[in-house]
Chain A
Amino acid sequence: MTQVNSRNIFSIVLPSLIVVLAGATIPFLVGFNQYYVLLALQSVIMASIALAWNIIGGYAGQLDLASFAYIGLGGILATMLMIEHNITPWLGMFLGAGVSAALAFIIGFPLFRFGIKGVWYALSTAALVVILHEASIMILGPFDYYIPFVEGWYYIRFRTWENLYYFSLAVLAFIISLNLYISRSKLGYYLKAIREDEVAAEAVGINVRKYKLLALVIYASILGFIGYLYIVSQRTFSYNTFSGPQSVYVAIIGIVGGLGSVSGVFSAALILKIVEEYLRGYLGGVLPGLHLLLFGTLLIVVGILRPEGLSSLTDTLTRKIKVKVLRWYT
């Protein structure tokens, strides 16, 4: 029994450890070239966002299109607290998580209570982003805000990008482990059952509303937390942080990666970010938004031809790696 338990901890912690170790070498490999370190940072943050989405979208099966509502809310709160009141983001990020969680609860409780799912849920979440977008125009005005230059771990902001990258890597590791943990836990089983068939799930005693709400709040908390990291990596924030199209982008990663597949979503986040950067770099001036066009097409193609996305590929790969690692270990 204990042997199986330790193997479980093994398989939850090890993948994130590998990601952290592999990821930590990147700044060295690129010779601390700031362009590439920033790119790596943004990829890591995107992967974190997509893996958070995996909890509500991949496991619970709800097409949530409001990720940037939560990212914006938590992130802008933490950033403003830092700018206006010199409050450290170490506190601010947790406050951001709390506020986003509260918003998710306020939205989710009535929605799930009235059994709203499928497209009406997707539309409600899309509407939420628009509401926050317009509200923030009124509150923040149509301006771009730049983060003043402050330095140090107190502000989690530095002259170069490496430290923020390492921090974000650690956060990503946590989120990966959280996903893997949930996947094997009672919550994970219940969410997947809800995704597959809510009626059958209820008949085996699953309180569908409660667990959907739980998944939503966990997802929103994570996004509210890393909102600050996102804003710092973008160097500015504005009412446009509450972006509907960006929220759709997150869902695209989650679906193209494969619903519920940690390896698939992780890979999709990295690949799509790299493709985006490549296209933006080489054709951006001529054809803005080409990468988004591509990703939209990708979503259509995946939906029609291969709904499981990248997961079949990446799951087979990770299984082979797991077997090799275990063989090396024993």
Chain B
Amino acid sequence: MSNAVLLEVDSLSKRFGGIVALNNVSLRINEGEIVGIIGPNGAGKTTLVNCVTGIYKPDSGKVIFLGEDITGKPPHVIAVKGIARTWQKIRPFYNMSVIEAVTAGALLRTKDVLRAREEATEVLEFIGFPRSKFEMLGKNITLIEHKLVDLARAIATKPKLLFLDEVVAGLRPHEVDVIADVVKKINREMKITLGVIEHVMRFVMNISDRIVVLHEGRLLTHGTPAEVARDPLVVEAYLGTKPV
């Protein structure tokens, strides 16, 4: 039952001026898992993902993916290596249609545009996006539709590891459940490993195999959802007081 280590983050640090966003963070993500990454605001969750995916260059430490050192490589190279992500602040392709946006993702692995478009169609259908809305422009779709398209666009690049950055932020409870089902499906059927940054506890505790807790740029603790939920350190980090 030992799964291969997909991603290894080794003593990663990143500061912005006077603020230390990441302070010697180390963690591992194994193949096939869904790892939840939680922590109060400012804990460094998004900075971590940005460092792994090449948007920031870490000040020190290493990022090793499938045994290869990818520290500081630019985002498009990271995507080719097999890491994809979705966006906390949505980044739609406003003037492209849904199918065009996802095709742009599929073109990473498939040179032929027609075949890429077919793949894009398959991905969109897999995550349950209504076919009738394929031609709608990015500027005209709803928030939950954006999230689905964002997911599809990322998955179309056929990643081995996918980071979801607060994917259910701003969604209504039943929409959260829709995303939860889709995410589980992606993990199981497409064999994509997931790192899920989240604030919405219900969602992340539900889908994660393991949880990693960050606080003020440091790794606080990690374990199963049940373990983490009971951990007094975690409660204190979120509430600022020791539990009674």
Contact = CB atoms under 8 A, between A and B. Distances in A.
Contact of A186 (B80, B95, B96, B107): B107
B105 A196 contact: no
Interface in A179-219: 184-186, 189-190, 192-193, 195-197, 199-208
Given A185-B113, A190-B107, A203 B53 contact: yes
Interface residues of B, number: 32
Interface residues of A, number: 25
Nearest to B87: A200
Interface of B: 53, 55, 74-76, 79-80, 84-85, 87, 91-96, 100-101, 103-105, 107-108, 111, 113-114, 116, 138, 153-154, 156-157
Interface in A195-252: 195-197, 199-208
A4 interface: yes
Nearest to B110: A186
Given A186-B107, A189-B104, A193-B104, A205 B157 contact: yes
A201 B94 CA distance: 13
Contacts of A203: 53, 75-76, 79, 84-85, 154
Given A184-B113, A190-B107, A196 B93 contact: yes
A204 B91 CA distance: 12
Interface string A257-298: 001100000000000000000000000000000000000000
Nearest to B158: A205
A193 B76 contact: no
Nearest to A203: B75
B107 A197 contact: no
A207 B74 CA distance: 9
B162 to A, nearest CB: 11
Given A184-B113, A189-B103, A189-B113, A202 B94 contact: no
A205 B93 contact: no
Nearest to B93: A196
A186 B112 CA distance: 8
